[in-house]
Structure 1
């Protein structure tokens, strides 16, 4: 017989009901159920928020106030500030006040940018950089230098020069190779905080003084006359061995041999030469005036720092013509009285430095960037320019001076341009040699070109006949973080003519005008960045410099006598 589950369940329900009646619990449950049904809210549409029951009484603000410790802190529960709705007049007033504040700040910066000011050394950013007092003392020493920027023999080059302006020097590749062979790395020091954009060597023949400008407006001076020399009499391995004497990014010796006397690395200073964080695009000494240094910047000004007074003053104010025309390059005529400047908007600025600053003039010679200008030292009315739109151009400056500043580029080119030579890609530099008889350009088509020039007959130069004598293969693809490569002429009269230029393989190359690379300065253990910016002493043979994105400068010269002992 099977179990009757339904019957068993029915019997259990009856038994439970009888038990509830006997204990009176059933009546209480019915009462509770009726109360709940009576207070149940009417059904309505669903809501995202849970509503309180109709019978719930809200507490007043003074009821059930806990202590601070009992009160829970939460950002979600923080009281919200009342939103203030501004009237149209109030909004206009606030905008006006902000505009006035911005204008006042801009005016203060403008005044600072164009005003004369004292040079103050910056001790941060570079380890072992010296202070303002020692910098001004060094400036006094420079101001007392009696030599010119080109020497005293009347040739414009100094020393016992073998060159003469207007006479093309003989190419002597093998002689140059022998002269350069002994040169080696003496020191490498971080002298400036940011990437180096420009460098120039002071003409002092007794000391080694290199100036550098970086991408944020700093100018640095490194006195490396004694760089690499031993402090004491104990010898250590030299820098050429890659084992000692290399100064690291923090300005300290990285690989000094333990237990040996240290070498000295000279003295260095840096200071903010222009307002804002604008690159120092060019540095140069005015001919026969080594007591001051000229520097241009992307802040659209060109300034001069006087060593005697330690003051900096404005020479060119590019804002007169445009607030977008960055100054890229400048050069002087042989007398040093005339200054020519190229800018980012295709302009060429001219000022006679014997006249007030306001007398400067500007012509649009192109509609795009003119990155370089060079004045021929044999014929100061002949200039070469390098253009981002591929051209290298030769100009008749005497004709250009006679044109109105309002002349269109097409008119200027028609009347004052002698010729234009088009490269395959942008032309980054164009420089005459110190005799004025050769010209070299650097281009992004990975070439350095060399021409012969007849400066006495510039108008006789025609594009049909003007072809480079040599086209030298050279990687110029610098990318974003390396300064543009430019091939510069050596101006040392005792050396055969040659160019110096940075190399993407972290070397400095010396190239003869016939296209032969006679020397590659390299020390891959010590030099970890491309020495894109190069410089050389203007009159003393065998002194070359390379500036890198790290702010380091490498110094190459003859080995020290103590390294032979």
Structure 2
């Protein structure tokens, strides 16, 4: 055994002294006397956290081809050993062959780099289910197709409410409706949890099919998660090979599709909407500057609208389902007729800052609601907007010619460019006699308006703002006349909306169920959901401190079943709230 140095002997002596000191202090005994939990800090942290994360089932991914660009190699390492006795003719032949080989390798490298660049660009072509779910196994793909076939067999048209719905002559009937809602929501519990998407939930929509709890979630990286929350659970084993209990495993089944590309934060899904006619089509808008429509009958996702570099923030459809209004980050509002081509679109710049939300009044579809970063909520008359002068038209044509110019702009139109009315042209038209009434009313907030939506009757408005207030308006009686006088909310409630950088912006979402007293849900920074009626009464707070430990920022409700609410958080985990079976 080699002789130890003086340094090593001193080091070992210090170790022995420290060990003896720790034994004399008897830290474990002291902790027990004080009533503190023993063990490492890691074990203590586990004991403090009562909520157990759901355990995902092990899924076998289908193999897919990845584009890999060839790497550059050193010319010095590839250099051949030259024969000194080589003849000039052989040398010329060898150099020509080497040159041809280098040229061939360079062409292959450039082609592979172009394929890699193309794979990172937005996809503007039609996508089938195999492409959308290229990471799903054959068994998962078969299950998704069966689910789509069931939905396509049942039409689910959205019933449109009336302005007079739930408007009572006495307070007793209204109080009875509110009491009934409060009792219904008091029975809701967490009945299913799952990590439906890989990244932060940005948007959600509840499918109207009543035989299933099917929720569509859009995430930060362009993924569309489809969750059948009550489907039979798969068995899951832990690291020791033991079956995980049903309370700790994922609930239901889910499928992940990738309609928007590339799979980065540049493709965040800002809105998910169902076709109001039959719910057989799913419309999604994303930050990749595209709007796509996924058909549940054919399984094909097609692009219906795209911009060059303008982020699309939201979309909405009227009850007829034949039109679409789109808001964007440049303060624009675009009208699409889904029966016509992309070149027939018209865009108005209504604000000099981002319009984060657009909502169509279901009873009066020509009345639009916008929420903007300019701190205002505005109600617009779509008929007046469409009366704004178009560009010069060719004789006998209903569309602008390519040589025409955009309203308020010096840039010429192209065949696929929407007609643009810039902010100056809109302001000029509003102040003219013909444009009087284009902006029906507006209300300034203290800070940016995150969202504003009409209720299913088209009577009430709820807005969310960074000034930490929820506001509710009742303007149903004024919709058929001129909105004159002060436009003030009748209810204003404090609500913490400071989500910061890592959480999705909180937005109050009306329940689309027009058969019950109007109410909306909104996430709470205290890891719960608040449920509030159209008259400002708080009728429920959904929470579960043992199972929910994150902010449920995104919410949605079933269009036909009142006791169904779904929510999602920043990690892609989603929750279904319903009565316990």
Q: Assess same fold via TM > 0.5.
A: yes
Aligned position for 2:180: 175
Aligned position for 1:328: 313
Match of 2:279 among 290, 299, 306: 290
Segment of structure 1 superposing worse, 550-559 or 128-137: 128-137
**How much does 1:266 deviate?**
1.7
Distance 1:548 1:288 in 2: 30
Cα deviation 1:508-539 (Å, max 9, x = unaligned) = 11012232221110012111211100000011
Aligned position for 1:304: 293
Q: Is the 8 A contact 2:155 2:278 kept in 1?
A: no
Question: SS at 1:336's partner residue?
Answer: coil
Distance 1:499 1:488 in 2: 5
Match of 2:538 among 505, 517, 524: 517
Q: Is the 8 A contact 2:497 2:506 kept in 1?
A: yes
Larger Rg: 1
Question: SS at 1:476's partner residue?
Answer: coil
**TM-score (structure 1 length as normaliser):** 0.70
Q: Does 1:369 align with 2:374?
A: no
Cα deviation 1:209-249 (Å, max 9, x = unaligned) = 00001000100111123468x99xxxxxxxxxxxxx9x99x
Aligned position for 1:485: 506
Q: CA 1:302 to 1:282, structure 2 compared with 1: closer, same or farther past 3 Å?
A: same
Question: SS at 1:216's partner residue?
Answer: coil
Q: Does 1:534 align with 2:555?
A: yes
Q: Does 1:425 align with 2:447?
A: yes
Aligned position for 1:192: 197
Cα deviation 1:149-197 (Å, max 9, x = unaligned) = x2xxxxx25xxxxx53454545443232122111111111111100000
Q: Does 1:552 align with 2:573?
A: yes
**How much does 1:253 deviate?**
8.5
State how many pairs are aligned. Answer: 430
Question: SS at 2:202's partner residue?
Answer: strand
Question: SS at 2:486's partner residue?
Answer: coil
Question: SS at 2:150's partner residue?
Answer: helix
The correspondence of residues 222-233 of structure 1 with structure 2, limited to 5 A, is 222-226=227-231
Distance 1:130 1:219 in 2: 19
Distance 2:126 2:444 in 1: 41
Aligned position for 1:412: 426
Q: Does 1:132 align with 2:129?
A: no
Aligned position for 1:215: 220
Q: Is the 8 A contact 2:456 2:513 kept in 1?
A: no
Question: SS at 1:282's partner residue?
Answer: strand
Match of 2:150 among 116, 120, 141: 141
Question: SS at 2:147's partner residue?
Answer: helix
Cα deviation 1:371-428 (Å, max 9, x = unaligned) = 0000001111101001011111110101111224443324424232222211001100
Question: SS at 1:113's partner residue?
Answer: coil
Distance 1:401 1:130 in 2: 50
Question: SS at 1:505's partner residue?
Answer: coil
**How much does 1:328 deviate?**
0.9
Aligned position for 1:272: 258
**TM-score (structure 2 length as normaliser):** 0.68
Aligned position for 1:343: 328
Q: Note the residue ranges of structure 1 that are not aligned, 5 or more in a row.
A: 1-79, 82-96, 151-155, 158-162, 232-244, 561-565
Q: Does 1:355 align with 2:376?
A: no
Cα deviation 1:356-380 (Å, max 9, x = unaligned) = 2221121111121100000001111
Q: CA 1:175 to 1:101, structure 2 compared with 1: closer, same or farther past 3 Å?
A: same
Q: Is the 8 A contact 1:222 1:268 kept in 2?
A: yes
Q: CA 1:165 to 1:207, structure 2 compared with 1: closer, same or farther past 3 Å?
A: farther
Question: SS at 2:476's partner residue?
Answer: coil
Aligned position for 1:24: none
Aligned position for 2:209: 204
RMSD: 3.4
Q: CA 1:254 to 1:478, structure 2 compared with 1: closer, same or farther past 3 Å?
A: farther
Q: CA 1:437 to 1:111, structure 2 compared with 1: closer, same or farther past 3 Å?
A: same
Distance 2:293 2:208 in 1: 17
**How much does 1:497 deviate?**
1.6
Question: SS at 1:193's partner residue?
Answer: coil
**How much does 1:124 deviate?**
5.8
Aligned position for 1:442: 464
**How much does 1:108 deviate?**
3.7
Q: Is the 8 A contact 2:214 2:226 kept in 1?
A: yes
Q: Is the 8 A contact 1:378 1:455 kept in 2?
A: no
Distance 1:470 1:302 in 2: 35
Q: Note the residue ranges of structure 2 that are not aligned, 5 or more in a row.
A: 1-75, 78-106, 169-173, 391-418
Distance 1:429 1:112 in 2: 27
Question: SS at 2:451's partner residue?
Answer: strand
Q: Is the 8 A contact 1:217 1:273 kept in 2?
A: yes
Aligned position for 1:4: none
Distance 1:523 1:397 in 2: 44
Question: SS at 1:117's partner residue?
Answer: coil
Distance 2:534 2:164 in 1: 17
Aligned position for 1:241: none
Distance 1:548 1:111 in 2: 28
Distance 1:359 1:144 in 2: 33
Q: Is the 8 A contact 1:418 1:458 kept in 2?
A: no
Distance 2:322 2:135 in 1: 37
